[in-house]
Structure 1
Amino acid sequence: MGRSHRQSYGGGEMSVAASLVFYFLVFLAEILMFGLLSLVLFWVVYYRGGFKWREDPAREFNFHPVLMVAGFIFFMGHAMLVYRLFRCCNKLTAKLLHTFLYLLAVPCIVVGVITVFDSHNLRVPPIPNLYSLHSWLGLVTVGLFALQVTHTLVVGFFSFWLLLCCEQGTASFRSGLVPVHATFGIITFMLAIATCVTGYTEKAFFVMSNGLYAQLPDEAWVVNAQAACLAGLAILMGFLLYSSRYARASHPVAIVDPPSNSHYVMTQKTYYYRDQM
């Protein structure tokens, strides 16, 4: 009889102390994401007059901060946390949930972009588009997000679904796409945070001009609190997503050594044969 043993590769196994720290940090991130979305809704409803469509361009703009925070921060942030939180679920389930959350962000971002252009173009006189630092950063962020969605829907569908009929031949190709997608996802999220902060600053100076912002009225506290939430999310999400100790567990590999000079490597679905050198 040959001998067999099981090995684990990569992260995924955490001590009790590490698990407590991990879930505490996730809890803080959830508070910040839900808190930020609640604050921006409160801000535009209580201080900015709520929502209107094209008949009132000033209040149509209020869709922009709410939808951008919902799409880029709330839905995209949760999409990136899926692979950290659902550690014991089937990886296909995690992929589907990750894709679903990304898709929820798409209409938020599309409508958010439309409303900001509408609110500028329909003003009398019109406000110029794409002139500020905030708008330039936003353009880059939306472009990177579009690439991420294209990768998820087109490349992801092709590589992770159609190519599964040839799993062995495409394994290296599919695994090579994962770090690229993950890295650009984190970059897009951090750029979104930077864009939001510049947007809050720009809006605060517009609506609280004539030195009022420097006096820190109640609205200024609400705006600053949203920026503080974004800064906290940048720190927490960066740590949670980059730390290898919180990575999803790799599937175990069983190695069976027959009484010969070769061995078989058995995964959950496929058997591979390797000659020993």
Structure 2
Amino acid sequence: MDSNSVSPMPDMAPMAEFDKTPPTPPEDTLPMDDLPPPPTTVTVQEEKEKEAHRHYEEENEWGCGSWLEYALVMVLACILLLASLGLTLYWVIRHQEGFAWRDDPKRQFNLHPVLMVAGFITFSGFSVLLYRICRCCRRIYVKLLHTVFHALAIPCVAVGFLAVLDSHNLALPPIPNFYSLHSWIGLVTMGLFAIQFVVGFFSFLILLCCEGATAGFRASLVPIHASFGLTTFMLAIAACLTGLTEKVFFSLGKDEYPKWPEQALIVNALAMVLVALGILVSYAVRSPTLRGDAKVCVTERL
């Protein structure tokens, strides 16, 4: 045998192939209650509304001083609105012999101051303040309440106007109509009140049937309607003040009035209540702190 030849290697058993893949651990079964909830789909409109609401809350959050101012103005205004009607009733029942109809023209006249104060001051005042009192209500509900309070004022004003006409015409001798400053201011107030009601009812309730097409028109009419509404309320206060002065001079005379009788004190107190209402209501409507327009607009969409 050749010494340089290489003998073949003996046959060896094949190497076992080991599976290097790690063993699969047993799957842990989780109860369905521990699984996270499925993701919710949020529309773009809902996200914008939530963002607008968050932005308003961050920018317009009230502090203790703002809430105190709001509560003081609103509570005091509501008390004075009711006090004006209460003082008028007390004055008429105690010092003007109560009420009657056409069988007693003198006592029929007493319906005039009570109903005019109820319609032009109490009901109209609450109607104006509703946009400040109902800050968190949907705007459509505030509009309906606003309309209801104005609608309640209409029969009061109509019957009060008829009562004064009858008391003048049925008196012996008859009393002339529409000669005083009080009557002229009252006529202007009634005219503005009627125009305000018709325009407001048509534009802010009827036109909601085609809301998209009339949105721009209604938005441009809002400041005009608000300004004339406040003007009508101030004219009503002026008419009441001139009417009270006229009536107390006719009842007491220039000799008795300076002696401070009880009737004079009641009438003067009622006049001061009306003046205070003019200040408070105008402040509540015009104050930027008490305005709730932005918040109402946001909550209307939510």
Shorter-chain TM-score range:
0.7 to 0.9
- 1:148 and 2:205 matched: no
| Corresponding position of 1:175 | 219
Secondary structure of the equivalent of 2:294? coil
One-letter code aligned to 1:242: R
Q: 2:237 aligns with which of 193, 215, 223?
A: 193
| Corresponding position of 2:145 | 97
One-letter code aligned to 2:292: R
One-letter code aligned to 2:85: L
Secondary structure of the equivalent of 1:250? helix
| Corresponding position of 1:86 | 134
- 1:110 and 2:154 matched: no
Q: 2:71 aligns with which of 23, 31, 52?
A: 23
Say whether the 8 Å CA contact 2:96–2:107 is kept in structure 1.
yes
Task: Give CA deviations for 1:168-202 in whole Å, capped at 9, x if unaligned.
Answer: x3221111111111110000000000110000000
- Map of 1:44-63 to 2, 5 A cutoff? 44-63=92-111
In the alignment, the residues of structure 1 paired with residue 168 and residue 73 of structure 2 have an alpha-carbon distance, to the nearest angstrom, of 39
- Greater CA radius of gyration, 1 or 2? 2
| Corresponding position of 1:259 | none
One-letter code aligned to 1:69: V
- Map of 1:1-277 to 2, 5 A cutoff? 5-6=51-52, 7-8=55-56, 13-159=61-207, 161-164=208-211, 167=212, 169-250=213-294, 268=301
Say whether the 8 Å CA contact 1:12–1:250 is kept in structure 2.
no
Q: CA RMSD in A?
A: 2.2
Say whether the 8 Å CA contact 2:96–2:110 is kept in structure 1.
yes
The Cα shift of 1:100 comes to: 0.5
Say whether the 8 Å CA contact 1:144–1:188 is kept in structure 2.
yes
Say whether the 8 Å CA contact 1:67–1:111 is kept in structure 2.
yes
Alignment identity in percent? 45
Q: Structure 1 pair 253/191, CA: closer, same or farther in 2 (3 Å)?
A: closer
The Cα shift of 1:13 comes to: 4.4
Deviates more, 1:185-194 or 1:202-211: 202-211
The structure richer in strand per residue is 1
Structure showing greater relative contact order (alpha-carbon pairs closer than 8 Å, 6 or more residues apart): 1
TM-score by length of 1: 0.85
The count of residues paired between Structure 1 and Structure 2 equals 251
In the alignment, the residues of structure 2 paired with residue 125 and residue 192 of structure 1 have an alpha-carbon distance, to the nearest angstrom, of 29
The gaps in structure 2 that reach 5 residues or longer are 1-43
In the alignment, the residues of structure 2 paired with residue 252 and residue 54 of structure 1 have an alpha-carbon distance, to the nearest angstrom, of 48
In the alignment, the residues of structure 2 paired with residue 240 and residue 252 of structure 1 have an alpha-carbon distance, to the nearest angstrom, of 16
One-letter code aligned to 1:146: A
The Cα shift of 1:38 comes to: 0.6
The gaps in structure 1 that reach 5 residues or longer are 255-266, 270-277
The Cα shift of 1:26 comes to: 1.1
Say whether the 8 Å CA contact 1:81–1:241 is kept in structure 2.
yes
| Corresponding position of 2:40 | none
| Corresponding position of 2:25 | none
The Cα shift of 1:248 comes to: 1.4
In the alignment, the residues of structure 1 paired with residue 130 and residue 95 of structure 2 have an alpha-carbon distance, to the nearest angstrom, of 34
Secondary structure of the equivalent of 1:245? coil
In the alignment, the residues of structure 1 paired with residue 231 and residue 60 of structure 2 have an alpha-carbon distance, to the nearest angstrom, of 23
One-letter code aligned to 2:210: L
